[in-house]
Structure 1
Amino acid sequence: MCAASSPASSDASVPDDSVRAVVDAGGEPWERILDLLERRCRELPVGSVLELHSANPRVRSSLRGWCRLTGSTLLTDEETGEQSAYRIKLPPPPAPGMPHPSPFQKPESS
């Protein structure tokens, strides 16, 4: 069973590296985890830190590739027993004057 928690805090004074949300994916396959991650990322402010818990050992390599594709940073990768915890920093906002849509936003229909 998968669960996603609410943001840890909506306080603007939260340090940049504190976890804003946790996704507990259990042993779900990567395809299901990917959907959960992208949905959760759309809800969080840019530059937020998200924590993913997974018991699926195949997630590690897929997550690294996903981070490269989205511009996210894998901060930590800790294995505890049969489960791993990954802390992921979402991409920062684009530099001023440089329009760049978030990789998590759905394209607008024309």
Structure 2
Amino acid sequence: MCAALLPAPSGASGPDGPVRAVVDAGGEPWARILGLLERRCRELPVGSVLELLSANPQVRPSLHAWCRVVGCTLLSEEQSGEQSVYRIELPPPPAPGTSHQSPLQKPEPS
């Protein structure tokens, strides 16, 4: 199965708000999922909730590490048959007066 970027179903919601986008990764390896997640995260507003669907159990530790590195919050993870469903909140904007940005935030035009 090929990984896909899907719009969130209308009315879908996560624990902390509506899901803005769904990435259905099927059984794809983490290396492929990483690119899909980063591209999708750059398209969404800060603080959005993204849902990742994965049938690959090896994705879990990499996803946890990635969330820590980029500043995302893993809101929940559920097992549904052989598929895991992860709800991820994108990082908020940096606090006023700080220059630190998440690697997922779009660079400001020069």
Interval containing the TM-score (normalised by the shorter chain): 0.7 to 0.9
Partners of 1:95 and 1:107 in 2: CA distance: 16
Equivalences for residues 24-43 of structure 1 within 5 A: 24-43=24-43
Aligned AA (1:63): L
Residue aligning to 1:60? 60
* SS state at 1:74 partner: strand
1:50-93: per-residue Cα shift (whole Å, max 9, x none)? Answer: 00000000011100000000110000110011100000001011
Partner of 2:13: none
Rounded to whole Å, the distance in 2 between the matches of 1:98 and 1:8 is: 36
CA distance in structure 2 between the aligned counterparts of 1:23 and 1:75, rounded to whole angstroms: 15
Q: Is the 8 A contact 2:71 2:102 kept in 1?
A: no
- SS of the residue corresponding to residue 63 of structure 2 reads helix
**SS at 2:17 equivalent:** coil
Structure 1 residues 43, 106: closer, same or farther in 2, change over 3 A? Answer: closer
Q: Over the residues paired in the alignment, what is the CA RMSD in angstroms? A: 2.3
Give 1:1-110 correspondences, 5 Å limit.
1-6=2-7, 17-105=17-105
Greater share of residues in strand: 2
Between the aligned partners of 1:85 and 1:25, the Cα distance in structure 2 is: 10
TM-score with structure 2 length normalisation? 0.85
| Secondary structure at 2:51 match in 1 | strand
Question: Which aligned segments of 4 or more residues in structure 1 are displaced greater than 3 angstroms?
Answer: 105-108
Structure 1 residues 90 and 83 mapped into 2: Cα distance closer, same or farther (>3 Å)?
same
Q: Once the two structures are aligned, what percentage of the paired residues are identical?
A: 72
- TM-score, scaled to structure 1: 0.85
3-state DSSP class of the match of 1:18?
A: strand
